[in-house]
Amino acid sequence: MKSTFPRKLPQPISVVRLVEMVGDAVVADNVENKEVLSIASPSEAEDGSLVFCNKTDESQAQKVIQDTKATVIVAAVKVPVRPGQGLIVAEDPLAWFIRALNIVFKDTSDAAIHPSVSIDSRSRVGNRVEIGMGTAIDRDCQIGDNCRIGSHCYLGPGTVLGDGCFVQNNVTVGSVGLGYHFTAEDERLFFPHLGCVLIGTDAVVGSGSVIVRGELEDTMIGDRTRLGNLVNVGHNVRIGSDCAVSSGTCIAGGVRIDERCNIAVGVSINAKVRVGHDCQIGLGSVVTKNIAPGISVFGVPAAPIRTMRRF
C-alpha cells in the first residue's frame, strides 16, 4: 500500500517567503531560490519536501538531516547539510513547522453549511461557520464565528460554542445524563436537566464524545481546552482553560478540573472530585479523591507519582 506522503502543497511557496510569514527562525544555509513543494516526515520526504528535526544533540540532528531526502529542514541546531539541502534554525522546530502547515494548507474555501443540517429558528449561527452533513442544532443555541462542526452531531438546547471551536464528527453536546434520585419508597425520580453546555473559544471536541448538560448548573468547558475522541463529560462538570483530555476518558457528574491539566488516555474520574490546576493524570488511572494543584497521579486508585514526565 502506497503512503499518501509526501503531501503536496496546494501551491508551491518559496522558502524565504515562508520564513518571512512564519517568523521566529533564522535562515542558516542554502535556501535562496528554493521552493517547498510538499510536507513529510524525514523518513518519507523527497526532493522539494519540508521536514522538521527536534533533536538538540548535534550528532543526532546531523544523522536525521543526512538521512532525509528533504530539500529544507527546520532544526533546533545548526549543523552541516548535504549539497542541495537548505537549513532553517528555530528554537522550537515543531512549533515552527505547525505554524508553517497552517499557512500552506490554509483552507481558502468559503465556510459551508450542508443542506441536510437542521438548525432551529431560535438558534444563532455566527459568521464563517462550517457544519457537516446530518447535524442537528436544537433551540436557543449560540454558535460563534469561525466554528467548525462535523457530520452527524447533535447540539442540545441552549448550547454555546465560543468563536473558533472545532467539534468533530458524531459528537453529542447537551444531552441528558442519569440524574436519578431514589426515594425511601424506592421510587426512581428523574432529575430534569435544566442547565446547558457552555464551551469557550478555540476549544476542540473529539469524534464520538458526549457532553451532558447540567441539572441546576451549566456544564462548562474552558477556552482552548481539547477533548480527544470518545470522551464522556457528565452533568455539571467544569473544565478550565488550556486543558487536554485524552481519548476514552470518562468524567463523572459534578467534577471540577482547573486550568492547564493534562489527562491521559482512558482515565476515569469519580463524581464530584476536584482536580487542581496544572495536574497530570496518567494512563488508565482511576481518580477517586481530590487532587491538589500541581500534582501528578497514576494508578488504580490514582496516587501521586513524582517521576511522571509532562505529556
Instruction: Choose, from 181, 193, 235, 277, the residue flagged as catalytic.
Output: 235
Where do we find the cell 464524545?
Answer: 209
CA distance 233 to 220: 10
Query: Would you say 139 and 159 are in contact if contact means Cβ atoms under 8 Å apart?
Result: no
Query: Would you say 213 and 235 are in contact if contact means Cβ atoms under 8 Å apart?
Result: yes
According to DSSP, the residues that pair with 166 across neighbouring strands are 148, 204
Query: Which CA distances in Å does 262 have to 44, 46, 56, 280, 309?
Result: 31, 36, 25, 5, 11
Where do we find the cell 441546576?
Answer: 216
Residue 114: active-site member:
no
Which three cell numbers, joined as nine digits, stand for 30? Answer: 542554502
Query: Would you say 14 and 88 are in contact if contact means Cβ atoms under 8 Å apart?
Result: no
Dihedral angle computed from the Cα positions of residues 100, 105, 110 and 116, in that order, rounded to the nearest 10 degrees: -120
| Residues shown for the chain | 311
Q: Which residues are catalytic?
A: 235
